[in-house]
Amino acid sequence: MTRKDNAPATISLNVAGVKLGDIILVVHERADGTMEIVPGKVLANGVVEFTLARFSPVSFIRVASKDASSAQTLPKTGADAAAAPGALLLTASLVCLAFSIKPRKVMK
C-alpha cells in the first residue's frame, strides 16, 4: 500500500517485551523482497515508533536493552598459551633425565 501523496508514514505499534531505553531496529520487507533496516524509537513500554514509505511486513529486533547488565567478558582461553611450549620442554627434559640416570648398584 502506498500513500497517495507518497509521503512517508510514521507508525506506532505495541511490541511485547520492549521497554524505554531499548535500542530497536525494524526490518522492513520491501515489495521486491529486499530488506531495509529502519531505526525504531521506543515511546513508552511496549510502544515502538518508526517511519516507512510503503506498508509491507516488518519485524523487530532488540539490539540492546537498558536492563541488560554490562557486557559479559569471555574467558581468556589462550591467555597462557605462551607458557605451553616451555612446559612441554620442561616435561620432556625431565623424562630424558629420568631415563639417562643409571641405577646405582647396591653393595651388600
> How many CB atoms are located within 10 Å of the residue 49 CB?
16
Q: Are 1 and 47 in contact (CB under 8 A)?
A: no
Residue 75 identity: P
Q: What is the pLDDT along the chain (108 residues), one digit of tens a residue?
A: 555 777 889 999 999 989 998 999 999 998 898 999 999 999 988 899 999 988 888 999 898 876 655 556 666 666 566 666 777 777 777 777 776 776 666 676
pTM of the model: 0.55
Q: How far apart are CA 11 and CA 39, in angstroms?
A: 12
Show the domains of the chain with their CATH numbers.
Answer: 1-64 (2.60.40)
3-state secondary structure of 57: coil
